[in-house]
Structure 1
Amino acid sequence: MSPSTGSGPELIRSTAADLAAKIAAQEVSAVEVTQAHLDRIAAVDPAVHAFLHVDGERALAQAAAVDARITAGEQVGPLAGVPLALKDVLTYSGAPTTCGSKFLQGWVPPYDATVTKRLLDAGIVILGKTNMDEFAMGSSTENSAYGPTHNPWDLDRIPGGSGGGSSASLAAFEAPLAIGTDTGGSIRQPAAVTGTVGVKPTYGGTSRYGLVALASSLDQPGPCARTVLDAALLHEVIAGYDPYDSTSIDAPVPAVVEAARSGDVSGMKIGVVTEFSGEGYAPGVEQRFREAVGQLEKLGAEIVEVSCPSFTYAMPAYYLILPSEASSNLAKFDSMRYGMRVGDNGSASAEEVMAATREAGFGAEVKRRIMIGTYALSSGYYDAYYGQAQKVRTLIINDFNKAYEQVDVLVSPTTPTTAFKLGEKIDDPLAMYLNDLCTIPSNLAGNASASFPVGLAPEDGLPVGLQVIAPPLADDRLYRVGAALERALTSDWGGSLLSTIPELEAAR
């Protein structure tokens, strides 16, 4: 093997694509890259709390196996040897899967999720499991039973949710790649407030097998990264048909890597959603969004104002559909099959043990959504609430279809504001839910969507994200727009947006 090139600090700030190329060329070993990231986690994660479980020994063994294959002359995948952080809602045999809940504390699944298996088959090194809102219910990662994750841009602020651990691990340079899941914005919203890239693939484009379900008609795993190309490379690894998932689409994976390398938006028609602006949107968020749209126009895209009036009703519809499906999905956590059990003193009935366990095991937000969902599904209320919400969902899909007759993609701010302070909204559920105002329609319709960084808000110096929404199975269009913005804006910034992030102090 050639002498190692690149110190620890250089390795942790490299892109996944660059790391993979150096590992394949034996300029650096996968073990060295993995160790550099494990050292970084040890140094800064006590302050960030991105990880719930670090699997260092197994990660190093996986890296050594990649090095051995390369030394033997075997062909390896385009991300072989690159470390990754895995959201703790996807099963990984031999590692705890808690979903950020006390209910599953210590539960170790006996099988891998399809996404996990595809990562391992590609030679990607799994560093560990990342923190999240309990059962993915939240917009700030403050609902984790194991404490909140902190935003590396400002440790007093939230990193987004529910996948705040995955996004924070990227911004803290603890991992170059991460996996998140998106039910109403839980990949895109954390990406926006941490200055990273997050993609929600078309519903059915990535497998949900082994993903602990929140809302089965909304959940979707997706790639998180610091660059558009890295996200595309990861997308290509995890996407594709899976016979174990009945909602998986049996169709070719869109050409996302080619689109990310191209970044050509000339001739594209880009629709600006008029409903996603005005009152409630921070001035700095709107300013950076408008500037980014102007950049796309300079690059040859045609900008069109598009109205989607049913989007106004997306939030109330979502907060009936999601709790209803969550109420059904979380019924399996009954203290009988797996997870915690309390109150079993030998004389209590099964119903008493179940009630005591769910009371002790679930946090406030999970209980709130279960109760809402159970009520919405109850006899006499189903048609009035859940049924009506599904009709609104159809109206939203129709609005998308009409919009795509005029434009290739839609754009909006990803979030109405930048990252808010920890504790600021935790006691106000409605204020918390408003953070997903722009992202929810895409989940209801099953569209592909993504968030890309477009700069820092002038008023607080925190990251702003631009959301791109594409028709189902047109995921490649997301990457064309994202790559175009990345090239134009990093030229203006003089490098990656994350190159301006304050350096975290190592734990003492």
Structure 2
Amino acid sequence: MTTDIIHQTAEELGKAIARQDLDPREILEEYYRVIDSNPVSSRIFTTLTRERAFREAEFALQRSKSGKRLSPLDGVPISWKDLYDTHDYLTEAGSLLLKGRRPKADAKVLQIATNAGLVCIGKTHMSELAFSGLGLNPNTGTPPCINNLDAVAGGSSSGAAASVAFGMAAAGIGSDTGGSIRTPACWNDLVGFKPTHGQISLEGVVPLCSSLDTVGPLCRTVSDASLLYSTFIQKDPIDLTHTSLKGKSFLILQSQSVEFIREEPRMGFELIVEKLKDQGAIISKEFFPEIDQALALAACLYCVEGYSTWKEAIEASPDVMFAPIRDRFLHGKEYSGDDYLSALRELQSLRKTLNKKTGGYDGFLLPTSPILPPNTERLLNDREFYTTENFHALQNTRVSNLFSWPALTLPTGVPSVGISIICHHNEDTRLLRLAKAVENAISVQSA
């Protein structure tokens, strides 16, 4: 049974624990065996929380035996991106600026997860201070992509994705400010869910841009994403049964800013779009200048807030940072307060306009990433290549962040290619049900 543990979903592991077919300690031991035997694990995990994890697994076992499980995922081991405060464990957010930082309490969302019985297996590497979509971090660790060990995993939740893809955790908890859950999930053939901003607490989460930062899971299935989301918002599990695409209307969002796409991502996206049509979905395309206008504001909005958050630490020790990320932060100095407030007002207006224009659709579609994961060494040695690839890695995903829409990426069956399903603000339940129907359609296509 243990040889099959790492291939099971979080939901399946939870059910096996409930039936007492699996001991939570046995599950944990198998994940640690994989971690200890794989040489890339040190590039995926910053810290392994073994003592805490085995204590939590023991408690989960006792609850299972007494019929007092706390949630459907009670006893399931998951990883946490290294920006979630973890009591008495290093939490450095991928930056030497925070070297040696040991929080005195867990992040609120980690507390909620622990109270639901989830087991914290360890902390995962990430882009420095979460400010890159590539996952390249020469200062602390760069996780590899499951499909190409010479390529980056995607960022900023790079280790979160790799921990699941390499069979080292049942799910990984990341964060998403411009695509940092969905890009690495896409490149590692996982499900990645960015809920609506504000749905899940950011208390105790090291910030990048608090106005956009979002907590979310990277996992193997929509059901896993839904269960984790329900756990974090402390609600009953969402009913994902009886989902259908028949008669559902999807809009492929188009603009000059999201027009660029390379061959493999285009093929994978178009393959699934045709499958959705076969399942009865109604799919149309429309060009929206509001997307271009919003994306033109991104540099000001992200860099000003990011620099404002980290100004003192960066100015005190600029040389300890990875230069491309440091320079993105410093770009925030080039804008005035009036520039930022003007951009924010314009974005709010664009949100109202685009929401009104798209109100009649069930959901939207985009290729998750228009590129495949780039080569690690070339990113390190070619600054222009780094800049271009980082821009394209977040090109499509930032749309959802800027318009405050929930979004979920699904693997298409083409390696490192994902399709994103998007809904309007706070339509997270609708999104998860639509995504389940799309996942079912993809499974039919793959069978």
Please indicate the TM-score interval, normalised by the length of the shorter structure: over 0.9
Structure with higher Rg: it is 1
Give the drift of 1:327: 1.1
Aligned residue number for residue 474 of structure 1: 427
Give the drift of 1:223: 1.4
Q: What is the aligned counterpart of 2:311 among 331, 349, 366?
A: 331
Give the drift of 1:360: 3.8
Aligned residue number for residue 121 of structure 1: 115
Q: Deviations over 1:78-111 (max 9, x none)?
A: 0001010100011111211010011112211001
Q: Deviations over 1:246-295 (max 9, x none)?
A: xxxxxxx6x87313x34322222111112279853112211221221222
* Residues 314 and 145 of structure 1: CA distance in aligned 2, closer, same or farther (over 3 Å): farther
Structure 2 length as normaliser, TM-score?
Answer: 0.94
Aligned residue number for residue 239 of structure 2: 258
2:40 partner amino acid = P
Q: Deviations over 1:116-165 (max 9, x none)?
A: 00110010001010100010011111135212111121100111100011
**SS of match in other structure, 1:455:** coil
Greater helix content: 2
**Whole-Å separation in 2 of the counterparts to 1:320 and 1:231:** 32
Structure 1 length as normaliser, TM-score?
Answer: 0.83
Deviates more, 1:283-292 or 1:41-50: 41-50
Q: Does residue 370 of the first structure (1) align with residue 370 of the second (2)?
A: no
Q: What is the aligned counterpart of 1:69 among 50, 63, 75?
A: 63
Q: What is the aligned counterpart of 2:295 among 307, 311, 315?
A: 315
**SS of match in other structure, 2:377:** coil
Q: 1:140–1:159: 8 Å Cα contact kept in structure 2?
A: yes
Q: Deviations over 1:454-483 (max 9, x none)?
A: 121xxxxx3210111111111122222321
After superposition, residues 267-346 of structure 1 pair within 5 angstroms as 267-275=247-255, 280-331=260-311, 333=313
Q: Deviations over 1:474-496 (max 9, x none)?
A: 112222232122222223334xx
Give the drift of 1:47: 5.8
Q: 1:306–1:403: 8 Å Cα contact kept in structure 2?
A: no
Q: Does residue 104 of the first structure (1) align with residue 98 of the second (2)?
A: yes
Q: What is the aligned counterpart of 2:173 among 179, 197, 210?
A: 179
Give the drift of 1:364: 1.4
Q: What is the aligned counterpart of 1:411 among 346, 353, 365?
A: 365
2:265 partner amino acid = V
Aligned residue number for residue 393 of structure 2: 435
After superposition, residues 28-67 of structure 1 pair within 5 angstroms as 28-46=22-40, 49-67=43-61
What is the CA RMSD across the aligned residues, in angstroms? 2.0
* Residues 21 and 278 of structure 1: CA distance in aligned 2, closer, same or farther (over 3 Å): closer
Unmatched tracts of structure 1, length 5 or more? 1-5, 241-252, 335-354, 457-461, 495-508
**SS of match in other structure, 1:156:** strand
Q: 1:88–1:100: 8 Å Cα contact kept in structure 2?
A: yes
Q: What is the aligned counterpart of 1:449 among 390, 393, 407?
A: 407
**Whole-Å separation in 2 of the counterparts to 1:439 and 1:125:** 30
* Residues 34 and 403 of structure 1: CA distance in aligned 2, closer, same or farther (over 3 Å): farther
* Residues 279 and 438 of structure 1: CA distance in aligned 2, closer, same or farther (over 3 Å): closer
**Whole-Å separation in 1 of the counterparts to 2:258 and 2:14:** 43
**Whole-Å separation in 2 of the counterparts to 1:129 and 1:177:** 12
* Residues 171 and 284 of structure 1: CA distance in aligned 2, closer, same or farther (over 3 Å): same
Q: Deviations over 1:376-418 (max 9, x none)?
A: 13xxxx33x3244324423541343134323121111011112
- Please identify runs of 4+ aligned residues in structure 1 that moved more than 3 A: 276-279, 313-316, 331-334, 423-426
Give the drift of 1:449: 0.9
Identity of aligned residues (%): 29
Equivalent pairs, count: 443
**Whole-Å separation in 1 of the counterparts to 2:246 and 2:8:** 30
**Whole-Å separation in 1 of the counterparts to 2:256 and 2:281:** 20
1:439 partner amino acid = T
Q: Deviations over 1:298-353 (max 9, x none)?
A: 2222112222212123333111111111111113538xxxxxxxxxxxxxxxxxxx
